[in-house]
Amino acid sequence: MPGVNYLHTRLSHLELTTTMTTGIAIFQNAEKAYMENNPQKALDLYQKAIKRIMQKENVLTVMFAQRPRGVPNDMPSETLAMAFRNFCGFLRDPAMNFTEATAPEAYKFLSSFRPNSENKDFARFTSTRGQFLLKCLQISALMTLGILAWDAKDRAKAAKRYKEALELAASEPLLTTAKPAVGLETWVAQDLRETRDNLRMLVQNDESNEEMLRMMGVQGGTTRREEVVVPNVRVEAREGNTPIQQGSVMSATDKCGKCGIRDVKMSRCSRCKKMPYCGPKCQKEDWKTHKLNCVPAA
């Protein structure tokens, strides 16, 4: 997995004329907690800042009207996006060791940004720019969920989240341009690049795993989540023992039953609901062979 791009803002030089209860102020306190080496407190405060802005403030509130010198190009100027960026960066940072188990509340909060989740606060992103901002947050959330799934060794889920992020981006012209604008667009473009790389790597690993299994004489799986047992990998015997190791390989992708191409999600044979195909053409061409062992789903 490529290194996590983790860069905290150092905005203490900015003059703030806010009361302590605004989203900006809570965000500042989160940054302070981070600097003071209190990650749990920082994580909580990032969430508070995000909630505060999404529920009570203008979601497009900006931290600075004019970008101060030294602020990196991928730093959004919208406070909400800034807080979200650092919140996700925190969850992605392996050194922090935040997982679904160690930070369940943060994980649940992050999951509530999946596009199909029933998040009431999404309704507050009404303008065109607001809609765009929401999409950026969702993409970053999906990417982060993918990394967390990958860390938890759930390759199939990781691949699925990455794919969802890329699909969401594909519907957005501002994110498919080669030269994204400074700020929000550049931030998400960077996330998308990493997402694409991570997904590509998962597919490549599936291919090399399959090759390994083939050489061992094991029939590999065609579908995601299909766990293939790697039998009796013999470990060097010592002192008269013959340790036997049982391993397993889980695929992150489906493999077309005809042409062998791999992808996160494919259409399936409507009869057995199991055999994956990249499209109707392959399915049709494969029917003669597949019908011999196509068992109708119950």
**Interacting residue ranges for Zn ion, rule: CB under 5 A:** 256, 258-259, 269, 271-272, 275, 278, 282, 294
* Structure-block tokens of residue 167: 């699909």
In the beta sheet, which residues pair with residue 81?
A: none
Q: What per-residue string of b and e applies to 212-222 under the rule 16 or more CB within 10 Å gives b?
A: ebeeeeeebbb
Nearest residue (CB) to Zn ion, 149 versus 282: 282
Measured distance CA(133)–CA(117) in Å, rounded: 17
Nearest residue (CB) to Zn ion, 96 versus 282: 282
Least distance to Zn ion, CB of residue 169, Å: 25
Least distance to Zn ion, CB of residue 159, Å: 18
Least distance to Zn ion, CB of residue 208, Å: 20
Angle, CA 69 vertex, CA 64 and CA 75 arms, to 5°: 55
Nearest residue (CB) to Zn ion, 79 versus 251: 251
Of 162, 157, 273, nearest to 224 (Cα)? 157
Of 101, 87, 6, nearest to 42 (Cα)? 87
Nearest residue (CB) to Zn ion, 161 versus 255: 255
**How many Å separate Cα 267 from the centre of its chain?**
23
Least distance to Zn ion, CB of residue 285, Å: 8
Nearest residue (CB) to Zn ion, 92 versus 255: 255
Cβ–Cβ under 8 Å, residues 86 and 8 = yes
Least distance to Zn ion, CB of residue 221, Å: 15
Measured distance CA(55)–CA(53) in Å, rounded: 6
Least distance to Zn ion, CB of residue 288, Å: 12
Least distance to Zn ion, CB of residue 294, Å: 3
Measured distance CA(236)–CA(263) in Å, rounded: 37
Nearest residue (CB) to Zn ion, 250 versus 294: 294
Helix (H, G, I), strand (E, B) or coil at 250: strand
In the beta sheet, which residues pair with residue 231?
A: none
Nearest residue (CB) to Zn ion, 111 versus 267: 267
* Structure-block tokens of residue 190: 């960077």
